[in-house]
Amino acid sequence: MATDTQAMLEQMRTARGYLYPSHELAAELDPQFMEVFNRLAGLSLLHEGVDSSDAALDTKQRELIVIGILAARGGSAVSHMRRAIRFGATEKEIFEVGKAAMVPAGAPAFLSVVNGLLQLRADAEAVS
């Protein structure tokens, strides 16, 4: 992988706090697309280094919204839970997102959030 692509991936990891293997493969296959993808994600989720001075929603609020959307879609939101916590969200706030998602998206969305919280607790116990 080209050095500039590796630098972009490292910047992505720093700004997001995580990097998926899918990001690495996509950057290998089309670095130009991933550069644009990352810029859009950064603007949407207020990644580090993005000017948020005129944003009506802060990073924590945006991550909580993403958690609800991913739960409704049946996806894992653990990395977004970690980032929300890093920006001040509490476990209770994340749990409330699951409760709010349950009416429009059903019990599986709620349980997806609860299971994500269980994973965070298990990860924390494994580190201690």
Nearest alpha carbon to residue 124 among 116, 98, 74, 94: 116
pTM for the predicted model, two decimal places: 0.87
Whether residue 67 contacts residue 50, with contact meaning beta carbons closer than 8 Å, is answered with no
Q: How far apart are CA 25 and CA 47, in angstroms?
A: 21
Phi, psi (rounded to 5 degrees) for 30: -155, 80
Q: Hey, where are the domains in the chain?
A: 3-45, 59-127
DSSP class of residue 88 equals T
Q: How far apart are CA 26 and CA 39, in angstroms?
A: 14
Mind listing the pLDDT tens digit of every residue in the chain (128 residues)? 567 999 999 999 988 888 899 999 999 999 999 999 999 999 999 988 899 999 999 999 999 999 999 999 998 899 999 999 999 999 999 999 999 999 999 999 999 999 999 999 999 999 98
